Amino acid sequence: MKIYVVTSGSYSDYHIEQVFLDRKKAELYCKWHYNSEIEEFETHDDMLDGELKSKDKYMFVRYTLTNENFQEKERIYTELRLDTYDHMKNNTGYNTTLGNGHQIILNRKISIADDENELKERYLKVCRDLMSEIKQMYVDGFTNKQIEEVIKSK
């Protein structure tokens, strides 16, 4: 889509007077305003819409719980990402490769309008709840592979 910007002046006096979607209206305006010119620009809203439609917003969360000196320490890393579903969907899981620790990786599709701070708080709670479930699964005799399958299914 094109827009027509009516400008006047030069150097430090250069300024925009009006913006039109219709060239004829911009020309009519210029007839009545001395020393004004029409500059034509192409908008790129359609291109951006296409990019946003092909990509979704995801919340990536890496939650780590370690046992250091018999005290649990938790760390959480969060990041908002714009990516395709195919790339992000297989990037969720659980592992215990950290020695005395546990790690949960979550990728969740979210609304573009969601507030980032609220999301971080929400996913911290989700990770804590999941870790409680994982601890119970260990007590119940689940293997790491079984636990990972449960986490992937959520």
Per-residue pLDDT of the chain (154 residues; tens, 9 = 90+): 789 999 998 888 889 999 999 999 999 999 998 889 999 988 766 555 555 455 667 777 777 777 665 567 777 777 776 666 555 555 566 666 545 677 777 777 776 666 777 877 888 888 888 888 888 888 888 887 888 787 777 6
Mean pLDDT of the chain: 76
Give 98-115 pLDDT, tens digit per residue.
Answer: 456 777 777 777 766 667
Half-sphere exposure for 19 (CA within 13 Å, toward CB): 7
CA distance 96 to 148: 10
Residue type, 135: K
Task: Report pLDDT for 38.
Answer: 94
